[in-house]
Amino acid sequence: MIHIKNLEDSLPIFKALSSDVRIQILNLLSEYKQLNMNDIAKKLKLSNGAITMHIRKLEECGIIKINILTAKHGIQKICYLHEDKFIIDIGKQDMDNSYELEIGIGQYSFYEIQPTCGIATKDSLIGEVDNPSYFADPDRINADILWFSKGAIEYRIPNYLKPSQVFSEIQISMEISSEAPGNCSLWPSDIYFNLNDIYLGSWTSPGDYADTKGILTPTWWFSNWNQYGLLKLLSINKFGTFIDGLKISDTDLNDINLNYKSDLSFKLSIPEDAKNKGGLTLFGKNFGNYNQGINIRVVYEQNLIDETITK
């Protein structure tokens, strides 16, 4: 998913999508999953040179990826979709009825995990891999990537609401993937989400990606380890819980019973009873493809009962 927050910075994406030919290429890749460039040229009845130019524009803005394979008749460039969803924020919501903040992935308040696991800053590993004890290291506050096979990690979300305000929606954006020993693009993992120990729902991560280096991943990072994740937007409102706009459960804000005094504890977990126990990787500002930690937006409304009493 590509989350567009700044329209000007995203002009390359809009330009890439402004061509009928490039839209046809995306439709083909959506249908066939992956195609080499010769096949795309034949299906669209265009020259290889013309297709190369269009593919380059789609690759430059991150919509597609290319794998280079050596075959009997030379090198083949295999194209596939890297992103298939877009969320566009046109301007910020009125700050009178929302607030936003970012939590670093090392700012967790609780963890209980099992190997394979590890944690690192943008400069180095923290301690040694597969030793959960290093998740308590003081330097973990600076972490920009962490991973574990089973267990849970929890974050405290500040509650800035006043007595006259009520929760309308909580949005949580994060870059996540599975956690395979090494890496594996086909490594499903059921990632569970809880708020104040209320189960919100789960999302199945398709894999643990290392087919290409993450845009922000440091040069010292090991090429056969987790390189990037998928940007997911979790939303909880009065209608239920959603991932990227798709409903994953009927759990809504009323079920959590929040008010201006409530603590907010957000937990991600890979429980023992998950069908696909494929682990979890969280990417921060200096790893992966998105320059962010865990982004939070809290939207609220004025309490009408409180207003009536005041009047």
Of 56, 81, 106, the one marking the end of a domain is 81
Handedness of CA 174, 277, 207, 201 (dihedral sign): negative
Provide the token pair at 133.
């004890």
Reported as a single tens digit per residue, the pLDDT across 68-107 is: 887 677 788 899 988 766 767 665 544 569 999 999 999 9
CATH of the domain at 58: 1.10.10.10
Give the containing element (helix H, strand E) for 301. Answer: strand 294-302
Let me know if residue 202 belongs to a domain.
yes
Let me know if residue 284 belongs to a domain.
yes
Give the containing element (helix H, strand E) for 42. Answer: helix 37-44
Token match 């992956």: residue?
34
Task: For residues 259 and 129, give the distance between their C-alpha atoms in angstroms, rounded to a whole number.
Answer: 40
Give the range of the structural domain holding residue 290, as residue numbers without chain letter.
92-302
Let me know if residue 311 belongs to a domain.
no
Reported as a single tens digit per residue, the pLDDT across 199-231 is: 999 999 999 999 988 989 999 999 999 999 999
Is residue 96 domain-shared with residue 234, that is, in the same domain? yes
Using CB atoms within 10 Å of the CB of residue 308, give its burial: 0 to 12 exposed, 13 to 18 middle, 19+ buried.
exposed
Is residue 216 domain-shared with residue 249, that is, in the same domain? yes
Is residue 176 domain-shared with residue 70, that is, in the same domain? no
CATH of the domain at 168: 2.60.120.260
Q: Assess whether the previous peptide bond of 217 is cis (omega < 30° from 0).
A: no
Reported as a single tens digit per residue, the pLDDT across 249-293 is: 999 999 999 999 999 999 999 999 999 999 999 999 999 999 899
Domain count, the chain: 2
Give the containing element (helix H, strand E) for 265. Answer: strand 265-270
Q: Stretch 133-142: mean pLDDT, rounded? A: 97
Is residue 119 domain-shared with residue 68, that is, in the same domain? no
Of 25, 56, 81, the one marking the end of a domain is 81
pTM flag (> 0.85): no
Is residue 63 domain-shared with residue 102, that is, in the same domain? no
Of 50, 81, 112, the one marking the end of a domain is 81
